[in-house]
Chain A
Amino acid sequence: MIITFYIFVTIAVLFALVILFTKNVLYAAFSLVVVFFCLAGIYVMSGAPFVGVTQILVYIGGIIVFIVFGVMLTTKLNDKNIISESHNRLLGYGLGMLLFIGFILIIHQIDFLSPSFDSATRQANDVAQIGVLLMTDYLIPFEISGVLLLLALIGATVIAGRKKKEQT
């Protein structure tokens, strides 16, 4: 159980670094799939199975498909556009290192009330509880987010499907 967690963590961080250091956009998209799978596993192990399944459904089933479509529609597989150049390297890596050191320092200073993580405290009752909460406490955000998703998808279709006007 604990070993599985650390395996997931290692794979997730490794493939996130692959995204950072690769130049090929398509490789980055496929590495993102692995990162999302590992994160779904970590969600399940931290007592949130519904979020894990949603992660697989929405991220891997939806967003990755969007991204791969975007890559395929904006590049040809053997031209130079699929290679993504980098800029501001020094600034980016320096800022990343500084932030990482800062996060480590802050996280080690916090004194948590329940310092270790016991996933046995939460059981499969979760999914039923999420369903009840969605239909009671979170009803208005739930409905609004449904409308928002519909609007976003219609908007995306309209923006992407717009024909170029004739030159006058």
Chain B
Amino acid sequence: MIPIEHFLILAGLLFIIGLVIVITKKNAIMVLIGIELMLNGANLNLVTFSASDPNIGGQMFALFVILIAAAEAAVALAIILNVYKHYRTSNVDEVNELKP
């Protein structure tokens, strides 16, 4: 059978790759993709540990995380669209003034 550590290492790898994407990329949509990867890493942890839990609390939590991720992606992309309309770029380094 598969050792539980391998699930945890995969979850950690996904989380770290997502974090590095968030830190290094300049495009706002890439940052959003990194956040989605991090959420998936966390979800994999929850699902893994809920396998030895008879009342599957981890799975329920994972379902709610997926739902919040959908809401977050919708709002984030709306904001990115508005930023693009105003600055004509989605590069987070160039979005540096508050005044419209």
Bound together? yes
Residues of A whose CB lies within 8 Å of any CB of B are 2, 5, 9, 12-13, 16-17, 19-20, 25, 28-29, 32, 35-36, 39, 42-43, 46-48, 50-51, 54-55, 58-59, 62-63, 66-67, 69-71, 73-75, 81, 84-89, 91-93, 95-96, 99-100, 103-104, 107-108, 110, 112-119, 121-122, 126, 129-130, 133-134, 138, 141, 145, 148-149, 152-153, 155-157, 159-160, 162, 164
Q: Which B1-23 residues sit within 8 Å CB-CB of chain A?
A: 1-10, 12-14, 16-21, 23
> Inside 8 A of A103's CB, which chain B residues have their CB?
8-9, 12, 16
Asked whether A48 and B50 contact (CB < 8 A) given A86-B25, A133-B55, the answer is yes
Beyond A12-B10, A66-B74, 20 additional contacts (C-beta under 8 Å) are A9-B6, A12-B14, A13-B10, A16-B37, A19-B21, A25-B29, A32-B37, A48-B56, A63-B73, A71-B29, A74-B84, A75-B90, A84-B29, A88-B24, A89-B24, A93-B24, A133-B55, A157-B78, A160-B78, A160-B81
> Inside 8 A of B91's CB, which chain A residues have their CB?
81, 85
Report the nearest A residue to B30, measured CB to CB: A84
Residues of B whose CB lies within 8 Å of any CB of A are 1-10, 12-14, 16-21, 23-27, 29-30, 32-34, 36-37, 40, 43-44, 47-48, 50-52, 55-56, 59-60, 62-64, 66-75, 77-82, 84-85, 89-91, 93
